Amino acid sequence: MPDDLIGPQPEADRNFPPDDELPPDASSREAEPRDDDGPSPVSSAEASSVEPAYRPAEASRYGWEEASERYVDVPASLELAYTSADVGLSPRAYERAFPYEKRRRRASGARARRIGRELIETVILAALIFFAVRAVVQNFRVEGQSMEPSMHDSEYLLVNKALYVRVDMDRVKTFLPFLPIDGGERHLFRSPRRGDVVVFKFPQDPTRDFIKRVIGVPGDTVEVKDGAVFINGARLEEDYILATPNYTYGPKTVPEGNYFVLGDNRRNSFDSHQWANSCPEQQQCDFVPEENIIGQAWLRYWPFEDLSFVNNKIIKPLAP
């Protein structure tokens, strides 16, 4: 094996004179035992009986673990210091001569790549789940007392945004022409109905979100008088309000694609019955356009002791 594999030799060995320069009796002089701790001379017979540091055949016969116990492993520092070119071996022979450290490094690199890949996949999956949930559910914080006793100030709700989703059937028919469907827009599940508690963008300031209860749907004629709400001339029976209204309104008909909303705290709510006072006469500001509705208030989750579903009602006018 080349001298480079053994490493740098001691200074005394490098400066030792060649055999032809030795005194006449030096070459025939027998090696005498050394008193220091250095290695003692080994005869050729003894050298042939010394077991090699590594035997691939033994490793394949007994297994890597048992072979590593039977034979001394090559130091990792030696493997890192030399390449196949340094020791005069082909790449395959070098791999067989120094297997342990290289396999360990290869396994460590594969493990690091696997962990990195799993981490990236986890982050991507979490992001997809987050955006999917945000597309269906949104949180909302109640501000003020306009919805008492149903909801209170500083409560947190989850809003169902998917319930009122509208689908363009013309576009669906373009991709799925074999479906027997009509064109136009329609609700995927259903439209808002009387009694739904909805979160919406305030028509006069879309940067503000309001929460109210739907009272009138498109085509309804709404009137407030005598401390009660009338829909198409029939009185609503309301057991969810804090107090009866102390004002009058209408009668007015809800336009197509709009909704009339009121707060459950009828005497302390800025809602459809007041919006017209701050709106030009040529505009109808009493109503909420359907495109402004974010979704239906679904679940109250904070404070935790008040965890419950929001009391969305199905209200119908009483028979006259």
- Which sequence positions are flagged as catalytic? 146, 212
Cα separation, 224 vs 46, in Å, equals: 115
Q: Which long-range contacts (CB under 8 A, 24 or more apart) does 230-238 make?
A: 230/317, 231/194, 231/317, 232/317, 233/320, 234/317, 234/318, 234/319, 234/320, 235/317, 235/318, 236/315, 236/317, 236/318, 237/315, 237/318, 238/315
Query: Could you tell me which residues are beta bridge partners of residue 308?
Result: 300
Per the DSSP assignment, residues forming a β-bridge with 230 are 223, 235
| DSSP string for residues in 46-67 | HHHHSPPS--HHHHHHH-HHHH
The separation between the first and the last C-alpha atoms of the chain, rounded to the nearest angstrom, is 111
